[in-house]
Amino acid sequence: MEIRGALDLERTRAGLLPRRLPAWTRSQYPDVFMDETTALPSGVRLVFRTAARVVELELLTSVWQLAGTFEPLPAGVVDLVLDGRRAGSAPAPPGDVLHKPDLFAEPSRREAGAPGRVRFDGLPGGEKDVELWLPQQTRTELVGLWADAEVLPPRPTGRRRWIHHGSSISHCAAAESPTATWPALAAALAGAELLNLGLGGNAMLDPYVARTIRDLPADLISLKLGINIVNRDAFRLRSFGPAVHGFLDTVRDGHPDVPLLVVSPISCPVVETTPGPTAPDLSAAVPRVVALGSPADVPGGALTLTVIRAELARIVAARAACGDPNLHYLDGRRLFGPGDVADLPDDLHPNAAGYRRMGRRFAALAFGPGGPFAERRRSGPGPVSPR
């Protein structure tokens, strides 16, 4: 068995906690929210081969309950994939509840729960490739795996390894299930092996993320940048451009020729022309995001999505002209544009339908004919490998 999509397995009292950044990065996390985000297993799955008709996975989940709410956030579901096709899903069992005053704070109290099991039965006979995708929005500790036949290592797939880094809009907590996040959908459509480094609230050009990507094997890399920087008012124009260059330089140190796609933010009317920071408007019937900056600050270097898109396009064009032909730019509004904003229920994050649309569009634009991730063929047989 393999655990894919995780870069660290932290041993806990219950079992193993998958994390999506290596252990060495933990000393560089800026806050508890980043620490918690790396343990939300978007794209993490158990992969094995078996002839079993019954498979059970024992898990201990931990969900957040924010102050002022009556119920914990939902634990989500576990998806079953057989021979590359989604074959079912089951609710993740309730476990611990972390009571938090807000998203960015330490839990004020842990309400202890117990591990539970997810069971899939009636599987088809014969040997098959099995994937169990963990709930993308829920900290999930792995306690045990049972099957009524031997569990074997998976067969090599030959798929290209795709690393994607982005914000909560790549993490996709509001997707219907872990295989319905837009990166997972795009990977399935394109036949790619995904590592999703979509880190909610934390696509901040952090150097330790760039070094992580630099040191991993990769055939394809995409970076969706910008929205978190506006949300936290983290840069001005003067510092944003050099930070993007530095991130790209580090990634290129390990992957000088790999196709690398920089994706700008999707449509978000609240901060298209108004700078951040942003904050939730809890007075609304449905919480929405509001921008706290002033358009009058843009000439002085404050960042909006309009400014960021122009700067990312300029940086990619300049670097490509200076000898990086495998660096590409995609305007995020081609994935989710002004005509899609009815599917932004909080004015920031797409809903499940929006994420499905983004997955289909990314697969067509990036992996389709003429796209930067399209497989190129030499004059002889077989696809060209960037390695």
Return d(Cα 314, Cα 321) in angstroms, integer: 11
Stretch(es) of the chain classified as CATH 3.40.50.1110: 157-373
- Look up residue 106 and give its DSSP letter: P
Give the CATH number of domain 157-373; options: 3.40.50.1110, 1.20.120.1780, 3.40.50.1240, 3.20.20.450. Answer: 3.40.50.1110
Instruction: State pLDDT tens for residues 123-179.
Output: 999 999 999 999 999 999 999 999 999 999 999 889 999 999 999 999 999 999 999
The position carrying tokens 């792995």 is: 142
User: Which element (helix H / strand E) includes 60?
Assistant: strand 55-66
Q: Answer whether CATH 2.60.120.260 is correct for domain 1-156.
A: yes
Report how far residue 99's alpha carbon sits from residue 72's, in angstroms, rounded to the nearest whole number: 8
- Write the DSSP string, 298-359: GGGT---HHHHHHHHHHHHHHHHHTT-TTEEEE-GGGTS-GGGGGG-TTSSS--HHHHHHHH
Question: Mean pLDDT lowest for which of 27-36, 241-250, 282-291?
Answer: 282-291
Residues of the chain with CATH 2.60.120.260: 1-156
In whole angstroms, give the CA distance from residue 276 to residue 112.
37
237-254 and 305-321 helices cross at what angle (nearest 10)? 40
- Classified as helix, coil or strand, 248 is helix
Per-residue pLDDT band for 378 (boundaries 50, 70, 90) equals very low
| 64, pLDDT greater than 90 | no
- The reported pTM is 0.94
Mean pLDDT to the nearest integer, 92-100: 89
Q: Indicate if the alpha-carbon torsion angle 318, 321, 326, 331 is positive or negative.
A: positive
Q: Which residues contact 69 (CB under 8 A, 6 or more apart)?
A: none
Quick: pLDDT tens for 258-305.
999 999 999 999 999 999 999 988 777 677 899 999 999 999 999 999
Answer whether residue 238 shows pLDDT above 60: yes
User: Cis peptide leading into 259, omega within 30 of 0?
Assistant: no
Question: Is the pLDDT at 380 greater than 60, yes or no?
Answer: no
pLDDT of residue 111: 85
Residue 379 pLDDT grade (very low, low, confident, very high; cuts 50, 70, 90): very low
pLDDT (tens digit per residue) in 315-328: 999 999 999 999 99
Listed in sequence order, the residues at least 6 apart from 27 whose beta carbon sits closer than 8 Å to its beta carbon are none
Length of the chain (residues): 387
What pLDDT, on a 0 to 100 scale, did the predictor assign at position 263?
98
Q: What pLDDT does residue 377 have? A: 52
Taking 70 as the threshold, does the pLDDT of residue 381 lie above it? no
